[in-house]
Structure 1
Amino acid sequence: MQCPIARSLERVGEWWSILILRDAFYGMTRFDEFQKSLDIAPSMLTRRLNALVESGLLERRRYSEKPPRDEYVLTAIGRDFRPVVWSLVAWGNRHFAPEGTSVQLVDRETGAVADPVLVDRISGRPIGPRDFKPAAGPAANERTRGRLARVDAPRVETAS
């Protein structure tokens, strides 16, 4: 599929993958650390770690020859996923935490709670539906162009 969302979900769309990446952002690198933190079956953890390595989000590094043991370290691609995880934290806190906030993003210097927003790197403006829209890129096929043509199509409001 040509859609960047579909391609991204191919790599990280499985529940365990995002939780493994979350734990990697928290500093975990070893199989037993991930297993203990996630309470995940070893076979499932092995499959998800292998998939994340194959997708280029984690790198496998040998830290012991006898017995052979590897650690899993974030790559540049994996580190680039961090803002997505932070956005999920903020979204989850806002909509799905009736008991209150259990994890929050804070400023390292001041300790002030942060509220992440997506910002255009070029203009510095927050990205919202009034000012920004998805558009077909140079490599878009007809299917993608057709899907995106609906973005500006007039909508007919109906009474409920």
Structure 2
Amino acid sequence: MRRTSFESMNCPLARAADALGDSWNVLILREALYGRTRFDEFLAELGIASNTLTRRLAELVEAGLLEKRLYSEKPPRHEYLLTAKGRDFRPVLLTLLAWGNKHAMPKQQPVRLIDSTNGETVELALIDARSGRPIGPEHKVLRQGARPARAEYFDFDGEAGAAEARG
């Protein structure tokens, strides 16, 4: 079954979803960020069918998130290493983790992010890298390009759905 491609959409969220593919790809990237590189490691950790893993690894290589590298010639064996693009997925994965702790598994013990320098739990927050200020519900307008024809408004705080404003 062929999935719909969003590659031609002029939206970074649609293209990111297209590059990620499906849930297995997110979990494979999670394992790669944990340091797993070999087919058998992914297979053991995920409990995924080998034919599905083969396809998903190929998708992630094609999307430029993983690099396939030969580490043994006899028999031929490959490892899958995160590219810079794949490593840039880390903050997305951490945000999904925080969301999952809160909404997907609210009654279970949360998975915590620990600061390896002091052992303290880190509370994830979205901040503006330039100012250091938190990004919250008051930051609603998304504009693309230098002179966008329109702005999209995210409904972060429960107001009515997205609206357009001509600029």
Q: TM-score normalised to the size of structure 2?
A: 0.81
Q: CA deviation at 1:139?
A: 7.9
CA distance, structure 2, for counterparts of residue 64 and residue 28 of structure 1: 17
Closer, same or farther: CA 109–149 of 1 in aligned 2, 3 Å: closer
Closer, same or farther: CA 76–32 of 1 in aligned 2, 3 Å: same
CA distance, structure 1, for counterparts of residue 104 and residue 44 of structure 2: 25
* 1:75-99 deviation digits (Å, cap 9, x = unpaired): 0000000011011111111122244
Q: Who is 2:20 aligned against?
A: 12
The alignment covers a number of residue pairs equal to 150
What RMSD, in angstroms, separates the aligned Cα atoms of the two structures? 2.3
Q: Who is 2:113 aligned against?
A: 105
Q: Who is 1:62 aligned against?
A: 70
* 1:57-85 deviation digits (Å, cap 9, x = unpaired): 00011100000000000000000000110
Give the % identical residues: 52
* 1:123-145 deviation digits (Å, cap 9, x = unpaired): 111111214521232486x6xx3
Q: Who is 1:41 aligned against?
A: 49
Q: TM-score normalised to the size of structure 1?
A: 0.84
Structure with the higher fraction of residues in strand conformation: 2
5+ unaligned residues in a row in structure 2: which ranges? Answer: 1-8, 161-167
Higher relative contact order (CA 8 A, sep 6+): 1
Closer, same or farther: CA 149–35 of 1 in aligned 2, 3 Å: closer
